[in-house]
Amino acid sequence: MEDSFEKYIREQRMQFDDAEPSAKHAAVFEKKLAGKEHSNPLKMIWWAAAVIVLFVGISTVMKNLPDAPQETENTSMALKEVSPEMAEVEAFYTQEIVQSKNMLSAFGVNQNQIELLNKNLELLEHQYDYLKSELAVHPGDQRIITSMIENYRTRLQLLDKHLLFIQKYQNHQNQSSHENA
Amino acid sequence: MQTISPSSVQSIHADMLKRCKSGDRHAQMQVYHLYYKAMYNTALRIVKDRFEAEDLMQESFLKAFYDLPTLHDLSTFTAWLKRIVVNKSINSLRQKATYDGFVEGLETTPEIEPEKQDLPYSVQEVKAAMEALPDGYRVVLSLYLFEGFDHEEIAEILSITSSTSRSQYNRGRNQLKQLLISKN
């Protein structure tokens, strides 16, 4: 039962939230948000280099992973089989990935870039198959479920970063041709 | 003056969160402006450091926006966001060398000494006394008194038993009272 001190706190509750962060907090946060979405072209080149290094690393790790078992009943478990919420999460990412892929094809990207991207996506899909087989052995293991969501996120981020890079490159090209005209 | 009904506030809120979900930065800033102060104060009560609390609060918003696609029921957004802030703040506190933690096994729960009828303390005095408490007591008291978690929820957040949470709470309350009396 609530005592007099708890009652006092409840009645004064709003007054306890009186501290304010630094004066620039909103501007700092806006920058952090923007940093998550955009980078300047130079940073993008560094990012592309980092992706290559990362995936060379992933490929090495993947080679040492046991092969994912063939998809048969009870040997693998997809996110959508965990719960209706996870089915929704999986549907969301699948749809976003398809959309991003369609946008990339619409841009008519250079073949080498597409091949590299597809290779990296395949590695992630292979990793996802491995996680599915692990989830079948340890149903409901939150760490595996989190890794599966992270896997989808990484695929989507990879596609989005490629898209952003291409858009910036095209804008830059358009601007240059406009200035030269 | 035109008034906005609670249901339209809810639908504006739901719409704002849906836009956040799709990565709309303007909507994300609007949601940030709505909740930053409450979330900042929650983090500050746990870590006691202004710069750290600001960073933890902002990192929590970034995580919340990033993980928003996994949140099925948008009406639980604030409780979910607060839980992210609390978890991040506690993790940060635990990494400090000065962290004095919880003493498990102290399951005997002392009685809370009754207060006088009138409480002659100001908000600032209570805040100062809270800050002077050991980490373990301060965290349990903050989560129970200010963030509205019950002992079962606190037990889950801190990976302790609910009886340890109750016992820490009562001990913390008695120590808080001593601190307030000694200041007056």
Q: pLDDT digit string (tens) for B87-142?
A: 999 999 998 877 776 655 555 666 776 666 566 789 999 999 999 999 999 999 99
Q: How far is B89 from chain A (nearest CA, A)?
A: 15
Dihedrals phi, psi of A10, to nearest 5 degrees: -60, -40
- Which residues in chain B have Cβ-Cβ distances shorter than 8 Å to A93? 69
Q: How far is A168 from chain B (nearest CA, A)?
A: 19
Question: Of B54, B69, B173, which has the smallest distance from its Cβ to A89's Cβ?
Answer: B69
- Which residues in chain B have Cβ-Cβ distances shorter than 8 Å to A18? 41, 123
In angstroms, the Cα distances linking B177 to A102, B125, B127 are: 64, 11, 12
Cβ separation A16–B127 shorter than 8 A = yes
Please tell me the predicted confidence (pLDDT) of residue B6.
56
Where residue B17 falls among pLDDT bands split at 50, 70, 90? very high
Strands (E) in chain A, as ranges, are none
The interface predicted TM-score (ipTM) is: 0.85
In angstroms, the Cα distances linking B142 to B18, B20, B169 are: 31, 29, 10
The residue of B19, B21, B34, B37 whose CB has the most chain A CBs within 10 angstroms, and thus the best one to mutate to test that interface, is: B37
Please tell me if residue B146 touches chain A, with a CB cutoff of 8 Å: yes
- Which residues in chain A have Cβ-Cβ distances shorter than 8 Å to B33? 26
Name, in order, each residue with C-beta under 8 angstroms of A130's C-beta and a sequence gap of 6 or more. A65, A66, A68
* Element housing A56 (H / E): helix A41-64
Residues B27 and A102: their CA atoms lie apart, in Å, by 26
With contact defined as beta carbons under 8 Å apart, do A128 and A70 qualify? no
- Which residues in chain A have Cβ-Cβ distances shorter than 8 Å to B115? 3-5
Window 143-162 of A: residues touching B by CB (8 A cutoff) are 149
Which segment, A25-39, A62-76, A125-139, B130-144, is predicted with the most confidence on average? B130-144
Cβ separation A12–B123 shorter than 8 A = yes
Residues B90 and B153: their CA atoms lie apart, in Å, by 14
Q: What percent of chain A has pLDDT over 70?
A: 75
In this predicted model, which residue has the larger pLDDT, A32 or A156?
A: A32
Q: How far is A9 from chain B (nearest CA, A)?
A: 7
Look at residue A45 and tell me whether its pLDDT is greater than 60.
Answer: no
- Which residues in chain B have Cβ-Cβ distances shorter than 8 Å to A32? 58, 62
Where residue A43 falls among pLDDT bands split at 50, 70, 90? very low
Q: How far is A89 from chain B (nearest CA, A)?
A: 6
Q: Which of B93, B91, B86, B73 is nearest to B39 (CA)?
A: B86
Quick one: angle between helices A25-37 and B50-67, nearest 10?
A: 40
Where residue A154 falls among pLDDT bands split at 50, 70, 90? confident
Please tell me the predicted confidence (pLDDT) of residue B5.
55
Contacts 24+ apart (CB under 8 A), A129-136: A129/A68, A129/A71, A129/A76, A130/A65, A130/A66, A130/A68, A132/A68, A132/A76, A132/A77, A132/A78, A133/A68, A133/A69, A133/A75, A133/A76, A135/A76, A135/A77, A135/A82, A136/A74, A136/A75, A136/A76, A136/A77
The residue of A12, A16, A146 whose CB has the most chain B CBs within 10 angstroms, and thus the best one to mutate to test that interface, is: A16
Question: Of B40, B66, B121, which has the smallest distance from its Cβ to A19's Cβ?
Answer: B40
Where residue A118 falls among pLDDT bands split at 50, 70, 90? confident
3-state SS, chain B, equals CCCCCHHHHHHHHHHHHHHHHCCCHHHHHHHHHHHHHHHHHHHHHHHCCHHHHHHHHHHHHHHHHHHHHHCCCHHHHHHHHHHHHHHHHHHHHHCCCCCCCCCCCCCCCCCCCCCCCCCCCCHHHHHHHHHHCCHHHHHHHHHHHHCCCCHHHHHHHHCCCHHHHHHHHHHHHHHHHHHHHHHC
The residue of B58, B113, B169 whose CB has the most chain A CBs within 10 angstroms, and thus the best one to mutate to test that interface, is: B58
- Which residues in chain B have Cβ-Cβ distances shorter than 8 Å to A20? 37, 40
Name, in order, each residue with C-beta under 8 angstroms of A99's C-beta and a sequence gap of 6 or more. none
User: For B159-182, how does the pLDDT look when each residue is reduced to its tens digit (9 = 90+)?
Assistant: 999 999 999 999 999 999 999 988
pTM of the model: 0.59
Residues B35 and A80: their CA atoms lie apart, in Å, by 32
